[in-house]
Structure 1
Amino acid sequence: MTMGIDPKDLSEEDLLRELRHMHETRTETLMHGSDDALANHTTRTGELEQEYLRRHPERDVDPERLREGARQR
């Protein structure tokens, strides 16, 4: 069940704003939201993240965030 505007219909600016908001509210939803609120939050975050990845398949991946980078630390 999609809540809100289909991520494909969001401008780049709106998509990024929505993603930031979802990540800012995650802990509060996890700790204090109802089961339905948490499920909806998880679903919506996934939808937004998938759209971001679709738009940015060649995103800049930090080498420190890869296994090889972790091993070097």
Structure 2
Amino acid sequence: MLSCSPGGYPDRMNEHDERGNTMTGVDPDRLDDQQLMKELETIHRTRHDTLLYGSNDALRAHNERMAQLEGEFLRRNPRRPVAAGRTREGARERGSGESTTPTTPGT
């Protein structure tokens, strides 16, 4: 039985591909849209525990996998909607005390 760190991650990772790099799952470009979103949700949910309790190797693998998944999401969704409050201009507006909550016209 594998022992686990406080974050619930195995203390040792034994799986390696042909090049000797730690395996991080299915190549993101082979996932369908639903699988990709599930993988992104999972990796974002586990991020905090990995940062706090994971070994350096676990954090490195997490960073690499997150970058792969997010890169694939951005490749597939180049025109994704961007909330005004998540832009540089929107951040400036938040600093001046204006609300970032979206409003509907006429309210």
Give me the whole-angstrom Cα distance separating, in 1, the residues matched to 2:27 and 2:39: 12
Matches within 5 A, 1:1-73: 1=21, 3-73=24-94
| Alignment match, 2:99 | none
Gaps of 5+ in 1: none
Amino acid at match of 1:47: Q
Q: What is the RMSD computed on CA atoms of the aligned residues?
A: 1.0
| Greater gyration radius | 2
Q: TM-score, normalised by structure 2?
A: 0.65
Q: How much does 1:71 deviate?
A: 1.7
Deviates more, 1:10-19 or 1:61-70: 61-70
* Total equivalences in the alignment: 73
Deviates more, 1:38-47 or 1:60-69: 60-69
Q: How much does 1:25 deviate?
A: 0.3
Gaps of 5+ in 2: 1-20, 95-107
Give me the whole-angstrom Cα distance separating, in 1, the residues matched to 2:72 and 2:66: 10
Return the structure number with greater relative CO, CA threshold 8 A, min gap 6. 1
Q: Could you list the per-position Cα deviations for residues 31-50 of structure 1 after superposition, in whole angstroms to 9, with x for gaps in the alignment?
A: 11111111000000000000
Give every structure 1 segment of 4 or more consecutive aligned residues whose post-TM-superposition deviation is greater than 4 Å: none
